[in-house]
């Protein structure tokens, strides 16, 4: 992993944006894997600015999102479909047909996982953006998910639901299941950019950088991927051995 420590969240967002802008200029029809959560919002703002300035274009870009809650409608403000449109797609010129966000219909979960998985197998992602959960999850691959896992329906970890209750108001309101790219799908990307920010991620980043590779800590698999940039701010890096 190539570790890049930035002064603060804004600098980390700018650094990740530089990498993505470079790819878009080099390969205007690239396949971009996208993430939700608080972390990539700054990156998306940088990309919107660059698109406004005609520095980059999303006209021919295909996007593939990591995950989505089950049993949530796309117009629910907490859905990842809503999040992606609010924070990126509504502000850039992108063909809606090029936007891929997984969804799982009640009663058709298996089929919907297979459809998304086939799509991923037919379209290798050039660059995957990742955040990281405090428990080490990537996408919604919670601790003890097999490294061989492909797209599936996950029972969300209590820690993940506690971390996300800030968006829903109460723990009970946080969905218990989600559809997510599996670790194997994520590892198939040619290049991965994992962003982490804030002191609440410092222990997680320490374990990622200094700990061993284990399914108990899903992000640890990234250590064997040949092309990972770990972009963290000083707060997230604050527990690393000097």
Active site residues: 67, 135, 137, 142
Stretch near ligand PGA under the rule CB under 6 A, chosen from 32-40, 78-86, 88-96, 202-210: 32-40
* Under rule CB under 6 A, residue 135 binds ligand PGA: no
Total residues at interface with ligand PGA (CB under 6 A): 6
* Under rule CB under 6 A, residue 132 binds ligand PGA: yes
Question: Which x/- pattern, by CB under 6 A, does the window 38-77 give for ligand PGA?
Answer: xx--------------------------------------
Closest CA to 94 of 32, 46, 41: 32
Burial class (CB in 10 A: 0-12, 13-18, 19+), 127: buried
Member of 33, 102, 131, 218 binding ligand PGA (CB under 6 A): 131
Phi-psi region of 71 (alpha: psi -120 to 50; beta: other; left: phi over 0): left
- The contacts found for 96-101 with CB under 8 angstroms, 24 or more apart, are 98/60, 98/61, 98/62, 98/63, 99/63, 100/62, 100/63, 100/64, 100/65, 101/65, 101/68
Residue 102 or 133 with smaller CB distance to ligand PGA: 133
Member of 133, 136, 182, 218 binding ligand PGA (CB under 6 A): 133
Closest CA to 168 of 236, 79, 234: 79
Stretch near ligand PGA under the rule CB under 6 A, chosen from 25-33, 87-95, 119-127, 129-137: 129-137
Member of 33, 37, 102, 218 binding ligand PGA (CB under 6 A): 37
Alpha-carbon distance of 220 to 198, in angstroms, equals 19
Contacting ligand PGA within 172-211 (CB under 6 A): none
Whether the CB-CB separation of 214 and 136 falls below 8 Å is answered with no
Collapsed DSSP state (helix, strand, coil) of residue 173:
helix
Instruction: Tell me the closest approach of the beta carbon of residue 151 to ligand PGA, in angstroms.
Output: 17
Whether the CB-CB separation of 135 and 142 falls below 8 Å is answered with yes
Alpha-carbon distance of 145 to 70, in angstroms, equals 18
Instruction: Tell me the closest approach of the beta carbon of residue 67 to ligand PGA, in angstroms.
Output: 9
Stretch near ligand PGA under the rule CB under 6 A, chosen from 54-62, 88-96, 128-136, 209-217: 128-136
As given in the structure block, the two tokens for residue 124 are 């290798």
Nearest-CB residue to ligand PGA?
37
Catalog residues that contact ligand PGA under the rule CB under 6 A: 37-39, 131-133
């Amino acid at each position: 992993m190539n570790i890049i420590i930035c002064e603060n969240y804004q600098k980390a967002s700018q650094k990740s944006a530089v990498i993505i802008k470079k790819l878009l200029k080099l390969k205007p029809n690239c396949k971009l894997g996208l993430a939700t959560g608080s972390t990539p919002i700054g990156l998306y703002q940088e990309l919107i600015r660059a698109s406004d300035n005609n520095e980059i274009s999303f006209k021919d870009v295909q996007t593939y999102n990591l995950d989505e809650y089950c049993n949530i409608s796309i117009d629910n403000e907490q859905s990842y479909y809503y999040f992606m449109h609010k924070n990126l797609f509504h502000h850039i010129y992108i063909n809606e047909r090029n936007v891929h966000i997984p969804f799982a219909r009640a009663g058709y979960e298996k089929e919907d996982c297979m459809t998304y998985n086939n799509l991923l197998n037919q379209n290798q992602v050039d660059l995957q953006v990742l955040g990281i959960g405090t428990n080490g999850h990537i996408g919604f691959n919670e601790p003890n998910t097999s490294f061989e896992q492909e797209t599936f329906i996950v029972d969300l970890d209590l820690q993940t639901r506690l971390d996300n209750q800030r968006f829903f108001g109460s723990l009970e309101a946080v969905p218990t299941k989600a559809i997510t790219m599996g670790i194997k799908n994520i590892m198939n990307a040619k290049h991965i950019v994992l962003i982490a920010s804030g002191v609440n991620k410092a222990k997680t980043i320490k374990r990622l950088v200094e700990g061993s590779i284990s399914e108990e800590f899903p992000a640890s698999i990234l250590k064997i991927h040949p092309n990972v940039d770990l972009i963290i701010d000083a707060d997230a890096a604050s527990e690393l051995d000097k």
